Amino acid sequence: MLEKIHQSIDELYPEMVEIRRYLHQHPELSFQETKTAKYIADYYEELGIPYQTGVGGNGVIATLKGTKPGKTVALRADFDALPIQDEKDVAYKSKVPGVMHACGHDGHTATLLTLAKVMKKYQAELTGTIVFLHQHAEEFAPGGAKPMIEAGALDKVDAVFGTHLWATVPLGVLQTSKKEFMAGADRFEITIQGQGGHGAYPHETKDAIVLGAEVITQFQQIVSRRVDPLETAVLTTGIFQAGNAFNVIADQAELVGTVRYFNVDVQELIMNEMEKILKGVCTSNDASYTLNYVKGYPPLINHPEGAEIVIEASKHIDEIQTAEEILPVMGGEDFSYYMMEKPGAYFFTGANKEGNPYPHHHPKFDIDEKALPIAAKTLIGAYLEYQKGNA
């Protein structure tokens, strides 16, 4: 059966590319993906596969029940885009100003939709039930996974598998982990309130730029001098905004950034140390501050058995030359919520496009579309391996 499925996936490769390019030209931001959700729902309507819309927001879930008894396994794809201007010179360039699929979610959706079409063809031979889980809003916390789970997306599911087309990994390479795979990802927003004044009279001011610079410098000592060297953490200040004239001392500064971690104790330590530094710097300079620390997605921790299933499935896919276990990456993913609820695994499908070195979230981001059928074959392979192991 697996050989026939692979052949059918290959036959539908042109349609897979067509879907991906259509979605690439019509991206929608997180929590605004109404047209994309309708496109997905219409596709399942045409296939004759039962589906639900509006799951936890804009989520869409389709269910294909095989004729043979077995487990229920969800396969997940996200479908939101990013607030980035598409700078690629290609025919399928985004038609929406300031919005583009700069992370491959269009490819994820094309992969899962085409896989659904293939498996509908083999429904009579199918063991168990496939849940095609199309998730909105992965890119922007609180994300779409959590509300979909709260809406019952996993209530009857035994396991969950998902993949990310990974543009910095060569085509034909699959990567996963049997433990921590992606980091917890938080966001912080800080406002430092000083006292502005004329640039010629600094002694009469409380310079918010100087205070902000001092805070940022001391923040760098949290990971290097407060966190256990055997733990992993990142603290990045990505925005530092203050001032509006060359000869005016700013009265206010805004700092926005991210914290990444795997251990919740490290997360708490960093939060506490940030507060102490802010309080110390501002108090000693007669300034004030506000700190809004937003806990984002928790760490994505794969289940060992699920990762082993993915690796085993890859052995039956001719296009995969290497399936490897890797050290965790510091990017975040709300697939972590699924792993907290059910067994399974997440994996990267190599999708590096020759001549396009640009990473995820870059204005010139693109993928090698030959990765799409590889992703589809690995997902259905994991599904079948799971059924075999739980017969």
Cα-based torsion angle of the residue sequence 314, 320, 322, 327 in order, rounded to the nearest 10 degrees: -70
Residue 360 assigned ligand-binding role: no
Q: Which residue has the tokens 């001391």?
A: 218
Residues in the chain, overall count: 391
Contact 367, 169 (CB under 8 A): no
319 carries an active-site annotation: no
Q: How far apart are the first and last CA of the chain?
A: 17
Residues 26, 28: Cα–Cα separation, whole Å: 7
Residue 139 assigned ligand-binding role: yes
Q: Which amino acid is it at 105?
A: H
Catalytic residue among 28, 106, 138, 385: 138
Catalytic residue among 33, 78, 80, 366: 80
Q: How far is CA 229 from CA 226, 233, 266, 276, in A?
A: 9, 9, 11, 21
Residue 103 assigned ligand-binding role: yes
Contact 76, 40 (CB under 8 A): no
369 carries an active-site annotation: no
Residues 33, 56: Cα–Cα separation, whole Å: 13
Contact 182, 336 (CB under 8 A): yes
Annotated binding-site ranges for Mn(2+): 103, 105, 139, 164, 361
**Catalytic residue ranges:** 80, 138
Annotated binding-site ranges: 103, 105, 139, 164, 361
